[in-house]
Structure 1
Amino acid sequence: MLKRAIQNAGTGFLKFMQAFGSGVWGFRRFIRNFIFGLVAIAMLAWIFPQPWNSAMDAMHAKVGFRFPKVDVVDYRLGLDLKGGAHLVYEADMSSVAEVDRVDALSGVRDVIERRVNAFGVAEPIVQTNIADGHYRVLVDLPGVSDVAAAIAQIGETPVLAFRTPIESVNLDPTKEQQQQIDEAQAKEREAALAIMERARDGEDFATLAKDNSINSTKDAGGYVGFVTSDDEEFGGLVERIESDRLRTGVVNGLYESTSRIYVVDYMSREKRVEPEVSHILVCYSGASRCEQTRTKEEALAIINDVKSQANKNNFDELAAQYSDDAANASEGGSLGFITKGQMVQAFEDAAFGMRNGRISDVVETEFGYHLIYRTSSRSTNAYEIAVIEMPWTTLSDVLVIDPWISTELSGKHIKHASVAFDPQTNQPLVILDFNEDGAEIFATLTEDNVGKVIGIFLDGAPITTPVVQSAIYGGQATITGNFSLAEAKLLAQRLNAGALPVPIEVVSQQTIGPTLGAESLDMSVKAGVAGFALVALFLIAYYRLSGVFSVVALVVYVLINLALYKVFGVTMTLSGIAGFVFSLGIAVDANVLIFERLKEELGDGRDLPSAVKEAFRRAWPSIRDGNVTTLIGTTVLYALTTGSIRGFALTLTIGILVSLFTAMVVTRAMFKLVVNKKKLRKPLFFLGAKEGNE
């Protein structure tokens, strides 16, 4: 009895474990199929978003619930399919050593690529070409039909250079050149004197200025405003007015500066007091040009605390510690002598309303909270003038010599460019932060040129020529010029996108119309569908049910490829489509290897389940080796080429990897569904099968 009970218990336990195992396996299979189903639905929704979104809207209208919608992402089409602009730029390598020209051209390519990406041009193709001594960059811009707009979008990236004056060049004119200058100046002086006489005879000075002046003030009737003795251009005129005690009115005689000649209308004189001030600025989030994140209340608390500590002995230290005006904080917040109209009104009122040696109460402006220290003041005369600038020939007009030599420092050493404002003139300027190499070169450059001029050139023209007061080790330089805010922002933006190592110019431009691209796309799609249909018919006709499995696997293969093209943003070109079609053939090859092996196994008398298992096992080494060999080739193509060849390599690589999945996973899964169905184990369905090996 005990033995029988033990046997019954054992039998029951085995049945329980079999049932449990079957249940666990069934549950695992359910989870696996559920995950595959979700992935398939997500993939189809990603490929065909419009039907999915429409279904979700209908579902929401009926039951009040829907799954998330899918963003509509179009396939990216290349220039040959979508149409667009084709530009050819040629780089001027005349100033670049021959051994460095390839690197310089690569730098140009990288810069242009960053710029078109920054401006939102869709999927640009930028590649270099060197032939017959010409260094060119080829740019394809799909979807852009207006070539002029494309060139404007790319823009001419500024060529930034740092140069020093040539010390040993002889700038003395030859006798012929001096004679040319003298003759030209004699005629120009005569013309200027004629205008002066007309003004002194009572003709309206403003009208004469508008008609004859070459100065930017001509539209304002030549009005310059008030000038003082330290004015760079008109300081000599002020000295003449004071020394000759000239009266107001049109000056009898021309004023000649170093390179210009003027007819002058001396309008009035006024006494001025110019305070010398320093300040501490504490700004807050929302204040003009403030990069701080503190609140207005926090800024007010800080400035009040600074006010409680400040005196004339420690103001410099407090400015260095607390001031947010980076342009002068390290210099004790010094703004130098200021004039009326130079600063914002609240600041000006406080500075001019104080006595020397006093520190102001907290002053609020659009920039934040200020503490102002008036250190001293000076009295000066200011003279109101209007001028007519007349043409004037100088040595530079006849002597064609570049007085500057290039240094190692250029735009390629810029890490970041940003817009700031001159605290004294409130004019926009651009601050350059150099990379590590640039900072080292700049430090050496300033060390070697203390007391000398370093010119900063933009597109070959000097925009500022500062005198180096001391070596600069901070890795930062400032570009000042007559910029508007928009111009300064654009310059900083372009420098950040990349300063070109060499100048470039457009030598060729053309458009490929969208009609031609659409025709190419239409023909490609038709050819692909026709080819797929023919392959499918052959596979089904020859391999029977296995061929049906192969066609289903190829459909899955196509869908996965289309989904991956959207996920990875692959740009489709004619060459890319060629790569896709080629990979489709490789996918068919993998299935053919499996089916041929299956035919042999069935022909040797194996039953269908073991024949399928053995066919996949024995076909795998050939499939693996063939695809790995092809992948090596596509990897080399992708790494060493650009443009259409790279697109071919990319789509082929994706296709090969997907084909391995569909052949070894999808096709195998379909075989597993039918191998145990005896009705399908017939020669009618499987090539090589015999009636006896079911």
Structure 2
Amino acid sequence: MKRLSKGLISIIIATLLMGVVALPDSVKSKLPGDPVSNWVKDQKITLGLDLQGGTQLDYRIDLRSATERNKDEDDSNDIRISDVIEGVRATIERRVNGLGVSEPQIYTSNIAGEEHIIVELAGIKDIEEAKDIVGKTIQLEFKEPKTEADPDELVEIEAEANEVLQEALTGESDFKEIGKRIETSDKKIQYIEGTQEFESELPLHYLSIIPDLNAGQVYSKTVEGGGEYILGEGGSISEKQTIRIVQLENVETQEKTEVEEGEIQASHILIAYEGAERSSATRTKEEAKELVQGLMEEILTSEEVDFAQLAKDHSDCSSAASGGDLGLFGRGKMTKEFEDAAYALEVGEISDIVETEFGFHIIKLTDKKEDIETVTEEKYYTYNEIVFDTTPDPWKPTGLDGSHFKYASVTYNQIGAPQVNIEFDSAGADLFEEITGRLTGQRLAIFVGGQLISAPNVNEKISGGNAVITGNYNLQEALQLSNDLNTGAIDAPIILSGQYTISATLGDSALRVSLFAGVIGLIVLALFMILYYRLLGIFAVIALVIYAVIIIFVLKTTPVVMTLAGIAGIILSIGMAVDANILIFERTKEELNEGKNFIAAVQTGFERAWTSIRDSNVSSLITCVILWFFGNSIIRGFALMLGLGILVSMFTAITVTRSFIQTLTGTKASKSTLLLGTKKMRSLNR
């Protein structure tokens, strides 16, 4: 009896302690500010996407490269598409885990014959950061110089563009769907949506095309585009060559407001030096700087400054004779540095020292005209484009890519600058040795995510399976690149094709309805147990309360995420807990009706009920394990909560209920047929 009392006291104390953590947040907020109380306040239930809202990201997997590898005559480089898809899913899962999102849901889906990765993020705060991390394409590629132009390259691009155009003209597929489907992560094919421009601001290649289209119409030909420039290797700038397919989405007439900055009038003091533009001065730049600083100090320290006289005395400009007055001028008349400084002044103000190619200036604004605002009505176009980049690629693939990547680490070169060391697998090591031997004296370009990172000269054949990525990295950038390669090297490019926001209001509504249904169910269940099993039913209800406290405690102190499916699993486990109590009570009542004493009846009742309870719960737990390993994220949530609920319910139904029942031993209640709900017993407690 003493041992049982200690056990019951332990259960009560543990329940009270867990109950403090399980209290509603509104109650816990009133706790004091000591470390323990702060820890208790921090324990909250983490809600899933369906309850607290969040974002769903839909990424299309670009499998064209993998498909083309399987089409060539070389069977040795064939890869299983299913392995590529699973590799992409695993990579995205690693990236999402790094965001700290609780129980993200990541699964593959086939949509219109294309493979997609669906990522569901509950309660994410910075969705743009999440998109940058989840959707980045960290593909490692090694390329060699293209020694001669490929005459078929442009022909193939034009053929693909015309094929896409014909599909768009038929109207069988939505223009946006086509664009999203064929878009590539390396930006060789881009879908650009919702560009908005006034008619006078349209690009030259669209100026005679878009105004003739109707809303929703696709232009019947491909358009050669230009006007964009790309920065090449060594700082060279070249025009980007493109083929475009355009669709007019909408046209309307809007007011166009143009503001032309008013002219200003300024005076200045110019201190020139030998070598400055149009300068006949003989002083050095250092002497000129010292002189202008002296003049500036004189201006700042004098109560009254005669700027015109200073200009006459010191300025090297022809305007010195008129006190430095330059007259009225507008934007584009002076050097940019001079204009920016002058336009930033208010009338009467004097600038700091301004340096231009003519020397050092001190500027005083003497007049400022009003800005001229012009309002006209003009057509305003919204259009969508599919853009094919036809700019010749100076590099071609070597066959060495991320599929042979093994590990990346940060090392330091001979002068202590950080660099990223790449280790290949055995096949990659052999291929790298062959490539460096073939390209000795030439350059080998390293691309990460479609971007050229470095293109070092190959001095000799390199064996050992290691390559080094060098660049103007600081340590943090090198560590980031290394981490991206290790955790983010992806088997195939992915393109964001959809982003959907799930409102938290819907989750709140679903949660309220679920909780209301659960509370009503528990009340009805408690009333039934008390009315039918009386005192034993009260013990069962107390056990259910302890069950609820334990479940809430576990949910608040672990990373487990609560979803609607999880709530269903918990509710189902409550029913199983009640089933266990009913089995125990019925077996115990049978023993009491047979005339056994209370202690013996309770002992036998629990023993006879245990085998049925065990078999039922074990079979349910096996089902939970199967659902966990073979189900998707929603089914896993249900299986996890059901399994957790079963384990807790077994503890409360067997240990807790038994501890409470055994407190009746030797009391009048143990002999009362009214309180125990038994028939008139032949002999009690004999």
2:580 equivalent to 1:590? yes
2:115 equivalent to 1:126? no
Q: Which amino acid aligns with 1:413?
A: F
Aligned partner (choices 62, 72, 77) of residue 47 of structure 2: 77
Superposed, 1:160-239 pairs within 5 Å as 160-164=140-144, 171=150
Query: Structure 1 residues 152, 54: CA separation in 2 closer, same or farther (over 3 Å shift)?
Result: closer
Q: Which amino acid aligns with 1:151?
A: K
2:645 equivalent to 1:655? yes
Q: Secondary structure at the match of 1:137?
A: strand
The question of whether the paired residues in 2 share the 8 Å contact of 1:87 and 1:506 is answered with: yes
The question of whether the paired residues in 2 share the 8 Å contact of 1:85 and 1:150 is answered with: no
Q: Which amino acid aligns with 1:434?
A: E
> Residue 287 of structure 1 aligns with which residue?
none
**Matched positions, count:** 457
Aligned partner (choices 406, 431, 434) of residue 423 of structure 2: 434
In structure 2, what is the Cα distance between the partners aligned to 1:213 and 1:409? Answer: 30
> Residue 656 of structure 2 aligns with which residue?
666
> Residue 162 of structure 2 aligns with which residue?
none
> Residue 464 of structure 1 aligns with which residue?
454
Query: Structure 1 residues 259, 151: CA separation in 2 closer, same or farther (over 3 Å shift)?
Result: closer
The question of whether the paired residues in 2 share the 8 Å contact of 1:431 and 1:476 is answered with: no
> Residue 48 of structure 1 aligns with which residue?
23
In structure 2, what is the Cα distance between the partners aligned to 1:445 and 1:624? Answer: 64
The question of whether the paired residues in 1 share the 8 Å contact of 2:59 and 2:498 is answered with: yes
Aligned partner (choices 656, 667, 686) of residue 676 of structure 2: 686
Identity of aligned residues (%): 35
**Which stretches in structure 2 are left out of the alignment for 5+ residues?**
71-78, 157-226, 240-274, 277-388
Superposed, 1:73-472 pairs within 5 Å as 73-96=43-66, 100-130=80-110, 133-144=113-124, 148=128, 150-164=130-144, 171=150, 404-410=396-402, 413-418=405-410, 423=415, 430-434=419-423, 440=429, 444-445=433-434, 449=438, 451=440, 453-472=443-462
In structure 2, what is the Cα distance between the partners aligned to 1:465 and 1:69? Answer: 53
In structure 1, what is the Cα distance between the partners aligned to 2:465 and 2:425? Answer: 8
> Residue 599 of structure 2 aligns with which residue?
609
The question of whether the paired residues in 2 share the 8 Å contact of 1:126 and 1:140 is answered with: yes
The alpha carbon displacement at 1:216 in A equals 6.8
CA deviations on 1:306-354 (whole Å, 9 max, x unpaired) are xxxxxxxxxxxxxxxxxxxxxxxxxxxxxxxxxxxxxxxxxxxxxxxxx
> Residue 494 of structure 1 aligns with which residue?
484
The question of whether the paired residues in 2 share the 8 Å contact of 1:453 and 1:465 is answered with: yes
The alpha carbon displacement at 1:121 in A equals 3.6
In structure 2, what is the Cα distance between the partners aligned to 1:445 and 1:149? Answer: 40
In structure 1, what is the Cα distance between the partners aligned to 2:622 and 2:673? Answer: 40
> Residue 631 of structure 2 aligns with which residue?
641
Q: Which amino acid aligns with 1:117?
A: N
Superposed, 1:479-558 pairs within 5 Å as 479-481=469-471, 490-558=480-548
> Residue 562 of structure 1 aligns with which residue?
552
In structure 1, what is the Cα distance between the partners aligned to 2:390 and 2:504? Answer: 52
Instruction: Name which structure has the greater RCO, CA cutoff 8 Å, separation 6+.
Output: 2
In structure 1, what is the Cα distance between the partners aligned to 2:154 and 2:19? Answer: 84
The question of whether the paired residues in 2 share the 8 Å contact of 1:76 and 1:123 is answered with: no
Q: Which amino acid aligns with 2:521?
A: G
The alpha carbon displacement at 1:559 in A equals 1.2
669-678 vs 572-581, greater mean Cα deviation: 669-678
The question of whether the paired residues in 2 share the 8 Å contact of 1:91 and 1:136 is answered with: yes
The alpha carbon displacement at 1:462 in A equals 3.6
> Residue 296 of structure 1 aligns with which residue?
none
The question of whether the paired residues in 2 share the 8 Å contact of 1:417 and 1:495 is answered with: no
130-139 vs 29-38, greater mean Cα deviation: 29-38
In structure 2, what is the Cα distance between the partners aligned to 1:52 and 1:146? Answer: 30
The question of whether the paired residues in 2 share the 8 Å contact of 1:414 and 1:438 is answered with: no
> Residue 312 of structure 1 aligns with which residue?
none
The question of whether the paired residues in 2 share the 8 Å contact of 1:682 and 1:691 is answered with: no
The alpha carbon displacement at 1:588 in A equals 1.1
In structure 2, what is the Cα distance between the partners aligned to 1:662 and 1:71? Answer: 26
Query: Structure 1 residues 214, 569: CA separation in 2 closer, same or farther (over 3 Å shift)?
Result: closer
Q: Which amino acid aligns with 2:523?
A: A
The alpha carbon displacement at 1:108 in A equals 1.8
The question of whether the paired residues in 1 share the 8 Å contact of 2:138 and 2:490 is answered with: yes
Q: Secondary structure at the match of 2:680?
A: coil
The alpha carbon displacement at 1:417 in A equals 4.3
Q: Which amino acid aligns with 2:610?
A: W
The alpha carbon displacement at 1:399 in A equals 7.9
Q: Which amino acid aligns with 2:420?
A: I
The question of whether the paired residues in 1 share the 8 Å contact of 2:229 and 2:238 is answered with: no
> Residue 359 of structure 2 aligns with which residue?
none
The question of whether the paired residues in 1 share the 8 Å contact of 2:437 and 2:460 is answered with: no
The alpha carbon displacement at 1:444 in A equals 4.6
Q: Secondary structure at the match of 1:569?
A: coil
In structure 1, what is the Cα distance between the partners aligned to 2:547 and 2:514? Answer: 18
Q: Which amino acid aligns with 1:464?
A: S
CA deviations on 1:282-306 (whole Å, 9 max, x unpaired) are xxxxxxxxxxxxxxxxxxxxxxxxx
Query: Structure 1 residues 567, 100: CA separation in 2 closer, same or farther (over 3 Å shift)?
Result: farther
The question of whether the paired residues in 1 share the 8 Å contact of 2:53 and 2:123 is answered with: yes
The question of whether the paired residues in 1 share the 8 Å contact of 2:48 and 2:563 is answered with: yes
Q: Secondary structure at the match of 1:692?
A: coil
Q: Secondary structure at the match of 2:446?
A: strand
The alpha carbon displacement at 1:440 in A equals 4.2
457-466 vs 580-589, greater mean Cα deviation: 457-466
In structure 2, what is the Cα distance between the partners aligned to 1:116 and 1:471? Answer: 39
Q: Which amino acid aligns with 1:126?
A: I
Query: Structure 1 residues 436, 555: CA separation in 2 closer, same or farther (over 3 Å shift)?
Result: farther
2:589 equivalent to 1:599? yes
In structure 2, what is the Cα distance between the partners aligned to 1:114 and 1:137? Answer: 14
Q: TM-score by structure 2 length?
A: 0.58
**Which stretches in structure 1 are left out of the alignment for 5+ residues?**
1-24, 178-211, 218-231, 235-256, 261-266, 269-396
Q: TM-score by structure 1 length?
A: 0.57
Poorly superposed stretches of 4+, deviation over 6 Å? 49-56, 65-68, 172-177, 212-217, 257-260, 482-486
In structure 2, what is the Cα distance between the partners aligned to 1:412 and 1:216? Answer: 30
The alpha carbon displacement at 1:68 in A equals 8.9
Query: Structure 1 residues 408, 627: CA separation in 2 closer, same or farther (over 3 Å shift)?
Result: farther
Query: Structure 1 residues 137, 441: CA separation in 2 closer, same or farther (over 3 Å shift)?
Result: farther
2:550 equivalent to 1:573? no
Query: Structure 1 residues 75, 458: CA separation in 2 closer, same or farther (over 3 Å shift)?
Result: same
The alpha carbon displacement at 1:495 in A equals 2.6
Q: Secondary structure at the match of 1:685?
A: helix
CA RMSD of superposed structures (Å): 4.2
